[in-house]
Amino acid sequence: MTDSPAVSNPETAAVLNPYVPPAISPVRSASGRYDRSIVEGPLPAAVWKLAWPSMITNIFGGLQGIVDHVMVGHLIGYEANAAIGVAMQIFIVAIVFISSLFAGMGVLIARFAGAGEEERVDRTVYQALLFTLGLSFLVLAPAGYLLSPWLFDLVHSTPSVRAEGLPFLRVTFLFSFGMLVFFMVSAALRSVGDARTPMILGAGMTALNIVFNVVLITGMGPFPALGTTGAAVGTVLAAGLTSMYAIFRLARGGWLISFPRGRGLRPDWPTIRAILRFGMPMGIQGVAMNIGGVLLLMFIGSLAQSAAAQAAYAISYTQLFSLVTWTSAALLGAAAAVVGQNLGARRPDRARSAVHVTARIAMACGASIGVFFLLVPRQLLAVFGMTDPVVVELGTQLLRVLSVSGILVSVALVYTGALQGTGDMRGPLYISLLSQLILPLGICLFIQRTSTLEPVHIWLAILAGHALRCSLSVIRFEQGKWREITVQIDPY
């Protein structure tokens, strides 16, 4: 499929930001700050240029969780693995709402970058930072600290899991700002076409995290052995230092994004409202998806061998399955950025072709990782100190199911990212409610009420949800209703 012409027509005009100044070409920025190969060059190269650094960034970020699980699994036992897994699942429900708002920020930034509007890009970045810090310090930290005990009770955690996980969760909630700012800055950079800077930041944060964890989990020198709490302290220290450096660079300049110059630093409510308008459905979607994960933990907690099943779920699904989500989440971000910039540059047909290219890459990545889940599941679990026979059996069973889910999730996330890049946030929301909540939880509830719920039933319910999400995401994008979406901010 050839690229659509740069000259607008009644169909393409509907997706354009109405505030593109006539003097600025829709394809080339006046100052040339942004990389225009995303809207002009070969599509596979454009997608891969954004995807591979993001994959490495996600790997760096995921390594932090893996290091936590490996160390506490060997030093403390599988109860500690279950504690961190349950705590992070709870934390993600809260943090994903805020971080999902960055999808709304990304829609605006990608459109503005594609149209060459640098001042609007910088303004959106700054307002997103203000909003992130406000929610982190004023809402997430106090609410998370107070509600943590109740949240552990909600998922039916055993006393040993609760004792290990409660301090971990409270520390993570109190100092969540570092992680959120890192996610926000990384998303903004990728939206303008810079995926390498987040990779460098992620590498530095991971290196710090590993050093802090080795010192604080085991206790070295003058520092006491903090166990699972040390894992939380190490993570928030690394994220906080990295985010403070990122804020310093935004203020000083030198990146493709920066704080706006020559304007007041007060909140700009039209921009914040625009971020919320596009980001709120994604925030609700993210919360719904992770509430589904928490409710699955409730079903797992009701099993006869709940601690073993939770440990298997924590390692197989939240850690090893990250090998799939690291790559597919990177491709999600690449699809969103490429689609958004090409719509901003008035190239909707090129945006559609980019999604198909990205989906093919995602299928190959998901299938490659699934082979390892099928062939060497016990060896993968052994890396995390999983030696208990029951835990190993349940984890192996789950990994075999996830070998198929990996392909489905990879494709689903690409099309989710594509819909996000167009500004279609409601479609992914409805799809997530059906596939991540109603279907898998309905299957578990039905079996629990009519028979005896077993771990394999929960694993298959997860697979069914992934299959539905993949199918509906592809159908939604191919309908083409995203061509009618406009991106607009009230005049500053």
Q: How far is CA 379 from the centre of its chain?
A: 27
Q: What is the pLDDT of residue 72?
A: 65
- Tokens 């609007």 correspond to 120
Q: What is the pLDDT of residue 40?
A: 83
| Residue 421, both tokens | 């890049």
Picking from 35, 60, 92, 153, the residue whose alpha carbon sits closest to that of residue 286 is 92
Please give the mean pLDDT across all residues of the chain: 82
Q: What is the pLDDT of residue 282?
A: 76
SS (H, E, C) 63-127: HHHHHHHHHHHHHCCHHHHHHHHHHHHHHHHHHHHHHHHHHHHHHHHHHHHHHCCHHHHHHHHHH
CA distance 62 to 52: 15
DSSP string, 237-283: HHHHHHHHHHHHHHHH--SSS-PPSSS--S--HHHHHHHHHHHHHHH
Q: How far is CA 172 from the centre of its chain?
A: 17
Is there a contact between 154 and 129 (Cβ–Cβ < 8 Å)? Answer: no
Mean pLDDT, to the nearest integer, of 243-261? Answer: 91
Is there a contact between 70 and 383 (Cβ–Cβ < 8 Å)? Answer: yes
Name the percent of the chain lying above pLDDT 70: 85
CA distance 235 to 178: 9
Picking from 92, 280, 106, the residue whose alpha carbon sits closest to that of residue 186 is 106
* pLDDT one-digit tens code per residue, 365-412: 999 999 999 999 999 988 887 888 888 999 999 999 999 999 999 999
Confidence of residue 41 (pLDDT cuts 50, 70, 90): confident
Picking from 386, 335, 380, 371, the residue whose alpha carbon sits closest to that of residue 190 is 335
* pLDDT one-digit tens code per residue, 125-156: 999 999 889 888 998 899 889 988 887 777 67
- The residue type of 383 is V
Is there a contact between 346 and 6 (Cβ–Cβ < 8 Å)? Answer: yes
Picking from 184, 256, 198, 195, the residue whose alpha carbon sits closest to that of residue 50 is 195
Q: What is the pLDDT of residue 9?
A: 30
> How many CA within 13 A on the CB side of residue 394?
27
CA distance 125 to 275: 10
Confidence of residue 69 (pLDDT cuts 50, 70, 90): low
| Residue 292, both tokens | 């589904």
Say if residue 439's pLDDT is above 70.
yes
Say if residue 17's pLDDT is above 60.
no
386: DSSP letter:
-
CA distance 314 to 310: 6
- When mean pLDDT is compared over 162-166, 172-176, 289-293, the highest value belongs to 172-176
* pLDDT one-digit tens code per residue, 81-113: 666 767 776 777 677 777 777 877 888 898 888
What residues have CB less than 8 Å from 211, skipping those under 6 apart? Answer: 234
Q: Is the model more confident about 63 or about 401?
A: 401
Name the percent of the chain lying above pLDDT 90: 30
Say if residue 472's pLDDT is above 90.
yes
CA distance 120 to 137: 26
| Residue 334, both tokens | 């690449």
| Residue 45, both tokens | 């190269």
- The residue type of 284 is I
CA distance 481 to 249: 39
Its pTM stands at 0.71
CA distance 127 to 112: 15
